[in-house]
Amino acid sequence: MEPILISPLIIIAVVFVVYRQMQSRPTAKRGILYTATAMIVVGIASGGAIDPRHLAFSLCLVLVEAVIAVALGVWRATTVRVWLDDSGVSWSRATAWTMLVWLASIAIRVGLYFAGGALGLELSTGGILLFVGLTIGAQAYVVARRGRALSSMDRRPDTVVG
């Protein structure tokens, strides 16, 4: 897929995900994990994440990006508020800290993108999709785990797991 077509789709997807995170939502919803998986699959399938001219270097950069994406997703997940309602259902909602970590995630990804370009690697949107899918997936997974942990503790309503 052409970068000119996929770049706006990535931006729309990230804005939508961040918007949804600002809403109170049950943590048991799995739709975001499917979205993250689709982004990862499309990112890999679209190619371009690995530069065949600099195979070893681009593989290392993709590995570093993947580790950073997952770490940022886990970090953001720790900033999300998770609580139980009166009926024992776990809910989540992003906080201002979550938004700050999103901004840091975007800045780090942009930095990695341009660092790869400065080092002579071919730039592509496949790597961006892979990064976004991994970071969203990691965050969604950790928030869901926190919700399940809170539900299994059988604590009082509005208990927050840190």
pLDDT, one tens digit per residue, over 15-74 is 888 888 899 999 888 888 898 999 899 888 887 777 778 788 888 888 999 999 999 999
The C-alpha atoms of residue 17 and residue 51 are separated, in whole angstroms, by 29
Q: Do residues 18 and 100 lie in contact, with contact meaning Cβ atoms separated by under 8 Å?
A: no
pTM: 0.85
